[in-house]
Amino acid sequence: MENFWDQTAVELPTRGRGFHLITSVVLNAIPRVKQVQVGMLHLFLQHTSASLTINENADPDVTVDLESSFAAIAPEDFPYKHTCEGPDDMPAHVKSSLLGSSLSVPIREGRILLGTWQGIYLCEHRNAGGPRTLVLTLQGQKAE
């Protein structure tokens, strides 16, 4: 089997605060996943006030509850020192640090191995964070 690497960057459009399902955006950006017998897809978000997570993609209440929970964990009215970029900036950094800026998802027989109810989410922690750049790195063995 032939080993290969592939990498691409995707600019995600500006979204409001919340958890946004991007699984299909990821798969459309790196179609070579379909050629992989076994491998790994690594996602890296090049920002400090947004993050990535894998979570339930079936019930939209889950994303509402996640947003409410993170707002309670890192509220805007906390006495932060770093305030020069607005009241939503430092809480966004805290939330991003908790969730992280990268994910790795295994691949087998041309499919990412998410569970039945799992999806990949961009977690926008600012009211309007601007466009976000996502770097996708694919490593795998090509199916024969």
CATH number at residue 98: 2.60.120.460
* Boundaries of domain holding 15: 3-142
135 close to 26: Cβ distance less than 8 angstroms: no
Report residue 6 as tokens: 């592939």
Q: Residue 143 above 80 pLDDT?
A: no
Backbone φ, ψ for residue 93 (5° rounding):
-65, -40
User: CA angle, corner 129, sides to 49 and 51, nearest 5?
Assistant: 35
Antiparallel, parallel or unpaired: β 36-45 and 132-142: antiparallel
Each residue of 8-67: pLDDT tens digit?
Answer: 999 999 999 999 999 999 999 999 999 999 999 999 999 999 999 999 999 999 999 999
What is the CB neighbour count within 10 angstroms for residue 7? 12
Number of separate domains in the chain: 1
Each residue of 90-105: pLDDT tens digit?
Answer: 999 999 999 999 999 9
Query: Given this model, what pLDDT does residue 128 score?
Result: 86
Query: Given this model, what pLDDT does residue 133 score?
Result: 98
For the entire predicted model, the pTM comes to 0.95
